[in-house]
Structure 1
């Protein structure tokens, strides 16, 4: 099953993608997708009005996560290109929910910098919360998967060893367009993550190149903080980021950047300058 969050005529709702591609509005059953996940209502049995895609504006797939956690340098190709030393544990940082945007929103290059980079990532949405989740049970805690672009303002990221400033400019976190339930993905390690900038493939790797696979990430994070339904974990980006190319490749106003994840979907964003 595939689900979306959206607004229609100024009102926020959520829905399931029907077999004909229409959106079945399920807002009468729960107020938003996070509430539906918590209530166990990601079901094909729920019904509602059918809406055409053109009638809605897509929101971040979870507009209101209590926690949005990111994994840094989680592909060997990206670790090598950044010159980071190998580690025994995942590198974890946070994004603020108010930096997230939907698939219909542009990425905003801030006035403070032109060093705006792309990072294609698989995002995991937690379905069943918990603390100290064993690796062997971690996959049972997943509600679904979606695409994420961890658009990064690199010079601000590199002001110090802390990532937070460069990862939290407004309008730099496209998340969506759909939440894809785990039963839609037959072989998670073979899923391919790519970024495509103005038609050129910039990043491409399968999930089996992760240094810390999804169950390890969930188990590790849940040891230091409890996870809750609707929390989101961005699992890292492959090598090929713009900052490590010669010369560097930065996203600029007018560009189109796509995150393509096999079996999950395509998240396409245009880039605009901050007003």
Structure 2
């Protein structure tokens, strides 16, 4: 199932992308709920908190809504929100692709490198991203994002994917000059709208193996990153298990799993051209769609 959020006058609404268009879950639930066996989740967080029963109820709603054109919207007409609009935590993994470590001349990490972004960094597909006045070295990073679906603490690698709800594309935008001032990367990682997510949150049953997905980044149509999640040093199972040894993961938490080679920081100094006003960055991941944002002067 492909899920998204979009703006209406009453705020963000939950939508389901189908062959017929985007199902307005709120409108469909108001019309069809009486014939369903369980309540339909009204928001993405309700869906995440409700687990398998909530997902089954939503799928039943989608099935029954088919054929009623009034319940579907045309996706190009919508203003999307972040596909996960209220994550409790945004946890990121640094230096997690072998070829990215090589291009930056850094040793492979002995453990996953954890850092974080905050909710102010969230942005949607199609949303402009302001380039902060405090930096002139803004870089792109194509990343696979894991969205947690069940409370996870001290889980094994073997069971880790059981705690996943789904996946989405992300751009871990980074102000390299702010990032490198200290050993802690936060200043360069959590600038406003530096974590675009979307356009869709795709349930894990649609994806299969998350450790074998094509991933790419284009800037103004020019291919900059072109890799596969199979190049990750720590795969999705290892990442989830490791983080769960450090903290409790809750439904809706987002994990950005690292970026492949091809970022500006990895180029020789004379070839480093960082993002500027008007640049359009598109992150695309196999089966997850393409996430596009334009950079603008703050």
- TM-score bracket relative to the smaller structure: over 0.9
Larger Rg belongs to: 2
User: Given the superposition, is the C-alpha separation of residues 66 and 187 from structure 1 closer, same or farther in structure 2, using an over 3 Å criterion?
Assistant: closer
Of 188, 194, 201, the match for 2:210: 188
Structure 2: give runs of 5+ residues left out of the alignment. 30-39, 66-70
Alpha-carbon separation, structure 1, partners of 2:216 and 2:77 = 29
TM-score with structure 1 setting the length: 0.95
Aligned to 1:74: 96
Aligned to 1:121: 143
Alpha-carbon separation, structure 1, partners of 2:152 and 2:119 = 21
Of 133, 138, 159, the match for 2:181: 159
Q: Confirm whether residue 270 of structure 1 aligns to residue 285 of structure 2.
A: no
- Give 1:234 shift: 0.3
Aligned residues: 273
Aligned to 1:111: 133
TM-score with structure 2 setting the length: 0.88
Alpha-carbon separation, structure 2, partners of 1:242 and 1:222 = 32
Select between 118-127 and 1-10 the one with higher mean Cα deviation.
1-10
Partner secondary structure for residue 59 of structure 2: coil
- Give 1:112 shift: 1.1
Aligned to 1:46: 61
Alpha carbons 1:128, 1:143 under 8 Å: kept: yes
Alpha-carbon separation, structure 2, partners of 1:54 and 1:87 = 42
| 1:81-120 → structure 2 map (5 Å cutoff) | 81-120=103-142
What do the CA deviations read for 1:53-75 (whole angstroms, capped 9, x no partner)?
24431111111100110000000
Alpha carbons 1:107, 1:173 under 8 Å: kept: no
Aligned to 2:17: 17
Structure 1: give runs of 5+ residues left out of the alignment. none
- Give 1:32 shift: 2.0
For the aligned residues, what is the CA RMSD? Answer: 1.4
Alpha-carbon separation, structure 2, partners of 1:187 and 1:221 = 20
Select between 66-75 and 99-108 the one with higher mean Cα deviation.
99-108
Alpha carbons 1:61, 1:175 under 8 Å: kept: yes
Alpha-carbon separation, structure 1, partners of 2:199 and 2:49 = 20
Aligned to 1:8: 8
